[in-house]
């Protein structure tokens, strides 16, 4: 995931797929909400944590801190996470 394109691809594909399933009425509202919460609370923090670790911004032992609500770890490394290769 060192390449910024792959990172955005990994971010957007699951979200687009979830919304496509809901729009095509393949999944019910309950499953849609569970999917969105799983994406936002499990997948994205993991992905962001791994990217920050691979870029050397945080230690591997600190990845779990991204899962803490209202933690500023993502905001502290915002430019590094979303704009720099």
pLDDT tens over the chain, length 85 residues = 568 889 899 999 999 999 999 888 888 889 999 999 999 999 999 999 998 898 888 899 988 988 888 888 888 888 888 887 7
In angstroms, the CA 61 to CA 49 distance is 10
Do 49 and 79 touch, CB atoms closer than 8 A?
A: no
Answer for the pair 33, 40: CB distance below 8 angstroms, yes or no. no
Cα 34 vs. chain centroid, distance in angstroms? 15
CA 9 to chain CA centroid, Å, is 11
38 and 32 Cβ atoms separated by less than 8 Å = no
pTM of the model: 0.81
Q: What pLDDT does residue 1 have?
A: 53
């Amino acid at each position: 995931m060192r390449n910024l394109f792959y990172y955005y691809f990994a971010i957007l594909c699951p979200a687009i797929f979830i919304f496509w399933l809901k729009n095509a009425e393949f999944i019910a509202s309950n499953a849609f909400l569970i999917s969105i919460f799983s994406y936002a609370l499990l997948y994205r923090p993991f992905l962001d944590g791994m990217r920050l670790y691979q870029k050397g911004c945080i230690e591997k032992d600190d990845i779990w801190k991204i899962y803490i609500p209202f933690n500023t770890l993502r905001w502290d490394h915002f430019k590094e996470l979303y704009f720099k290769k």
